[in-house]
Amino acid sequence: QKEVEQNSGPLSVPEGAIASLNCTYSDRVSQSFFWYRQYSGKSPELIMSIYSNGDKEDGRFTAQLNKASQYVSLLIRDSQPSDSATYLCAVFTGGGNKLTFGTGTQLKVEL
Amino acid sequence: GAGVSQSPSNKVTEKGKDVELRCDPISGHTALYWYRQSLGQGLEFLIYFQGNSAPDKSGLPSDRFSAERTGGSVSTLTIQRTQQEDSAVYLCASSWKGGGLSSTDTQYFGPGTRLTVL
């Protein structure tokens, strides 16, 4: 089992719709979770971080964390073509210093 | 500086040659990370430096890979006797204070070095 798993996609949504990106992780003691956005040919940039169960909202983005289910998600409301990118879920794992990334979900927002 | 910088941006080398990749972290950041991203893959952790502590080398794929960080700032990743499977984008990131399970520390990434081994 991979430490951090994401569906590779592509996930296609129409402009203005809600995009839902999901991530599961295997290390039960993990407490810090991050969503990064990566445009093609560019380096990752942080979108959201979440540390407590529940929802955390920032503009059009909402991160959701359920530690009991080992599940973290990212919702993007009113999706725009500029949101088209690969979204990477990242989790501090193993009790150490390693930030483990999923392979990313490619999101395509269509006009 | 304004952000993490890396050099060179692109490196093409022949199999068997050694290469050095450089990372300049954000000023004041004590933690520095190296990752590797192969085409279509996620980021693979390579090595982590935190202040003056011994680095966490647990992600280095072989003994051909090494890294150092001089003066707690600039870092160099060296790959000896490069192989074609080393071709990837090598990303450096820095953060204020480093990792740990409960870390809330944000990592800021540099633009990466695209390494091609022929």
Q: How would you classify residue A70: left for phi > 0, otherwise alpha for psi between -120 and 50, otherwise beta?
A: left
pLDDT tens digit string along A76-103? 999 999 999 999 999 987 665 678 899 9
- Using DSSP's 3-state secondary structure scheme, residue A36 falls into strand
Higher pLDDT, A111 or B10: B10
Residues of chain B with pLDDT > 70: what percent?
93
Phi then psi for B86, rounded to 5 degrees?
-80, -10
Which of A32, A45, A104 minimises the CB distance to B103?
A32
Higher pLDDT, A61 or B107: A61
- Mean pLDDT across A40-59: 93
By mean pLDDT, which of A88-97, B7-16, B63-72, B83-92 is the weakest?
A88-97
Q: Is A77 on the interface with B (CB under 8 A)?
A: no
Chain B residue numbers touching A91 (CB-CB < 8 A):
none
CB contact under 8 A, B100 and A97: yes
The answer on pLDDT for A3 being more than 90 is no
Residues of chain A with pLDDT > 70: what percent?
95
In which band, very low, low, confident or very high, does the pLDDT at B97 lie, cut at 50, 70 and 90? confident
Identify the pLDDT of residue B13: 97
Higher pLDDT, B114 or B52: B114
Higher pLDDT, B104 or A72: A72
Distance from CA of B82 to the nearest CA of A (A): 23
Fill in the DSSP letter of residue B51.
Answer: T
Q: How would you classify residue B66: left for phi > 0, otherwise alpha for psi between -120 and 50, otherwise beta?
A: beta
Chain B residue numbers touching A104 (CB-CB < 8 A):
42
Beta strands B108-109 and B88-95 are antiparallel
Chain A residue numbers touching B33 (CB-CB < 8 A):
99
Q: Is A45 on the interface with B (CB under 8 A)?
A: yes
Chain B residue numbers touching A88 (CB-CB < 8 A):
42-43
Burial of A109 (0-12, 13-18, 19+ CB in 10 A): buried
Identify the pLDDT of residue A50: 92
